Structure 1
Amino acid sequence: MHIRDFDSATLPPAQKAATWLDVAGRADGNQWRLPLLTITGTAKGPTLVVTAAVHGDEYEGVETIRQVYHQIDPAQLRGTVLMVPVCNVPAYETAQRSSPIDGLNLARVFPGEINGTITQRIAYWMREKLLQVADFYIDLHSGGVAATIPTLIGYLHDEGPLGQRSLAGARAFGAPVLWGHPLPIASGRTVSAATDLGVPWLYTEAPGGGYARPEDVACFTQGVINVMRWLAMLDGTPAPQPTTHHLFGDGDLDSVITATVAGYFRAEVE
């Protein structure tokens, strides 16, 4: 099925399904496709969208989505869960942050272009078919192979209803570090696209390193389930792990501090 033909409103109730959604043709005659996992409940409720591997060298979210998919019983669910375990398929196939096809960073091209490069098309269809229908959005990231980032949950820090709902979701998710980002959110991101659509959102980070630490996968998996309980999609009360630091800032990880002398960096704290 081409992704343009996908309509989450037509999914039958009380089932799990795994499918591939065609996005664009490949040079070898095959298709660039996005994997989609769906879970529909027995009763109506919110639509939660969860994505991972927007960068192709980040694996924690991929395993998190697999675990959430297997743990959730449709008979116990209210609403719909839409999950894409690998968004940036070209980058994932080569374990790179950005696409080897067009050199673009999927997390910098939203809202995308319907007739653009493969990365721009993926962004366009993610916005049109996933973010547009979401009542809440979680984007699972980590440091990948090039960065080390504390295990954290990021959210929109704003006094308006969108920010307050994002903060409540972050507290329900639970992570060692909460990081609030004030408006305006930098353009091109999944979460800036969600903000423009009025969808409350969270994103994660973790140390990365080219592999998925079990403790980070456990944190993210429990966090997604916590949010589902907070949204009343599942029975039960969220059980977030304790937060040790609550930070505020623009979240711009593209900026760097350049050393003024030669040597190596020795951290005083983890």
Structure 2
Amino acid sequence: VHLKDLDVSRLPRNTKETVWLEVAQRADDSHWKLPFIYGSTVSPILLVIAAIHGDEYEGVEAIPRIFRKLIPEDLSGTLLMVPICNIPAYETATRNNIIDGKNLARVFPGNAHGTITEKIAYFLTEKLLKPADFLIDLHSGGIAASIPTLIGYIHSNDKRGKRALAGAEAFGSSVIWGHPLPVPPGRSLTVATDLGIPALYTEALGGGLAREEDVRCFTTGILNVMKHLNMIEGEPQLQPVTHHLFGDGDLDNVITAPVAGYFRTEVA
């Protein structure tokens, strides 16, 4: 199935399925394909995406666990999941797509006639994000960064912002991070916010690993949000919030060390 032909409103009801979605043609005439998982009844529509960066693995493991737990007859709504959005970067375990050098998390809403990264962003936006009622974008520190496990949201006092905050609190992470408007350009959350769709993102330790505690946090968090949205029965399994932070948290601009060496995590 080519992603451009996907119509979420026409997905079979009361079922769950995995399919491959064609995005663009490779040099060898085969196609770049994204794995796509869904369970469907009616609204609301929750979209969960992972591996926007090819070296972030926690969401890649969490999404199949959700799929295995999913009982379509018990689902009130539609759950759309893409466990690996950036297949070219995933194949090389890199943050960016080595074919065009672009960062998928910086090119949304994409371009139907652009490079492979821009095409992926375009079809994700047009075919999956725009029909959605809620978004969860699963990230982590990848290979290069070390980040506390957290759930993030875009803060505002309108209906979208309040729904995003409620979803973040329901997710159940001990660290919550709210970001002020405006959202920096190019993110999935940028497009979601512009469309009025509440959106969350995760971070986790990373390091090129998928720690079991982080995968469990993501898995439980997604199920918690589904309970919060009344998509499945039950109450969210929460843990005490130790930090509720607020700030832009732009990781694109970093302070580099002026000398060579290594960092020793000790406090005098």
Alignment TM-score > 0.5, same fold:
yes
1:264 aligns with 2:262: yes
Equivalent residue for 1:249? 247
Match of 1:218 among 197, 216, 219: 216
Deviations 1:190-230 (A, max 9, x none): 11111111110000000011110000000000000000000
Q: In the TM superposition, what whole-angstrom CA distance separates every residue of 1:140-192 from its partner, at most 9, and x where no partner exists?
A: 00000000000000001111111111000000001121000000010001111
How far has the Cα of 1:72 moved from its partner? 1.2
Partner AA of 1:17 in structure 2: E
Q: Which whole-Å deviations, capped at 9, do the CAs of 1:102-129 have from their partners, x for residues lacking one?
A: 0100000011000000000000000001
Q: 2:20 maps to which residue?
A: 20
Counterpart mapping for 1:1-270 below 5 A: 1-41=1-41, 44-260=42-258, 263-268=261-266
* Structure-2 change in CA distance of 1:70 and 1:164 (3 Å): same
After TM superposition, give the deviation of residue 132 of structure 1 in Å.
0.3
| Partner Cα separation in structure 2 for residue 244 and residue 164 of structure 1 | 20
Shift of residue 40, structure 1, vs aligned partner: 1.1
1:75-133 residue CA offsets vs partner (Å, 9 max, x unmatched): 10001000000000000011110001101000000110000000000000000011101
Aligned length: 267
Q: Show structure 1 runs of 5+ residues with no match.
A: none
Counterpart Cα distance in 1 of 2:26 and 2:260: 45
Q: Secondary structure, in 3 states, of the residue corresponding to 1:266?
A: coil
Equivalent AA in structure 1 for residue 172 of structure 2: G
Two-structure CA RMSD over aligned residues (Å) = 1.2
Supply the AA of the counterpart residue of 2:63: I
Q: Matched residues in 2 for 1:2 and 1:154: separation?
A: 32
The alpha-carbon deviation at position 268 of structure 1 amounts to: 4.8
Q: How far 1:267 sits from its partner (Å)?
A: 3.2
Cα displacement (A) at 1:262: 5.4
Whole-Å Cα distance in 2 between the matches of residues 26 and 158 of structure 1? 42
Q: Which moved more, 1:13-22 or 1:223-232?
A: 13-22
Alpha-carbon shift at residue 29 of structure 1 (Å)? 1.2
Q: Secondary structure at 1:130's aligned position in 2?
A: helix
TM-score, normalising length: structure 2: 0.97
Instruction: Give the SS at the match of 2:12.
Output: coil
Shift of residue 264, structure 1, vs aligned partner: 3.5
Q: Take 1:243 and 1:267, find their aligned partners in 2: how far apart are those partners?
A: 24
Q: CA deviation at 1:62?
A: 0.5
